[in-house]
Amino acid sequence: MRAILIFLGVCWFPIYSKGQSQTFFSGVFPEVSLTRKLSNENRINFKIENQFILFDNRVGEIKEAQFTHYRTDLMAFHDWRINSTNSMAIGVFYRFQEGADAKRIIQQYALIQRLRNLRLSHRFRTDQTFTKQEKIEVRFRYRLSFELPLNGMTLDPGEHYLMISNEPIFSLQNKEFELENRLVFGMGKLYSNGQKLEWSMDYRTDGFIQNDLRTRLWFKIGYFQSF
């Protein structure tokens, strides 16, 4: 409980500490991920993410609740199994966003560590984003995730788990370096061995170097199905 309060405090601090001088927006972020295991144990993944803004401090005085489509991302990955806990993937991505549709290619290496009652996963990614009338953006990102079963030492079907992840993203575009951070805190439930539902808060900060600081707080609901 204490951890949740501290997390909320950290999330809201930048909004009130600098008033309107920085961008902040918040909204809902549903996502669906479908993973198909192939006969050679490699995997194909399809994912769709939607972001809808419910609050945006750039919009003058707020008289009524907002519900604005911000972006929809579609992505597909082919993942090669190295062994039971390591894999490498390449992916393609298309973003629908008003005036900023984008294409991206992604390369990643992921590693899972099984500790006694905790699972740690490391994901290393590089990606290259192509947006019309903009220079290519190249990024490197590393995500560390913890998954802790809330009932017993191992996560069994029907049980909940706590998940926390953090991902710094280093970006280079037009010879300018930028930094972003994504902190996610949430809870999930494993329904069967291939099915998870997660509810989380995803707190994103960027614009540390080139632009004014921007913060985004997303309330996510994610459905993950593997078959």
75-94 residues near other proteins, rule: CB under 8 A? 75, 77, 79, 82-85, 87, 89, 91
The verdict on 35 binding other proteins (CB under 8 A) reads: yes
Pick from 22, 23, 50, 57 the residue near other proteins by CB under 8 A. Answer: 50
- Decide whether 31 or 206 has the Cβ nearer to other proteins: 31
121 backbone dihedrals φ, ψ, rounded to 5°: -130, 140
**Could you give phi then psi for residue 188, rounded to 5 degrees?**
-135, 170
Single residue of 145, 166, 173, 181 touching other proteins by CB under 8 A = 145
Strand pairing category for 195-206 and 214-226 = antiparallel
> What is the sign of the dihedral through the CA atoms of 66, 68, 70 and 72?
positive
Q: Which amino acid is at 136?
A: I
Q: What is the DSSP string of 94-136?
A: EEE-TT--EEEEEEEEEEEEE-SS-EEEEEEEEEEEEETTS--
When asked if residue 33 is in the footprint of other proteins (CB under 8 A), the reply is yes
For other proteins (CB under 8 A), the number of binding residues is 63
Q: Does 187 interact with other proteins (rule: CB under 8 A)?
A: no
Is residue 147 at the binding interface for other proteins, with CB under 8 A as the rule?
yes
C-alpha–C-alpha distance, residues 189 and 155, integer Å: 9
Site membership for other proteins, residue 65 (CB under 8 A)? no
**In this structure, are residues 225 and 35 in contact, taking their beta carbons and an 8 Å threshold?**
yes
Least separation, in Å, of the C-beta of 205 and other proteins?
21
The residues of the shown chain that bind other proteins, judged by CB under 8 A, are 30-35, 43, 45, 47-48, 50, 69, 72, 75, 77, 79, 82-85, 87, 89, 91, 96, 98, 108, 110, 112, 114, 116, 119, 121, 123, 143, 145, 147, 151-159, 163, 165, 188, 190-198, 221-226
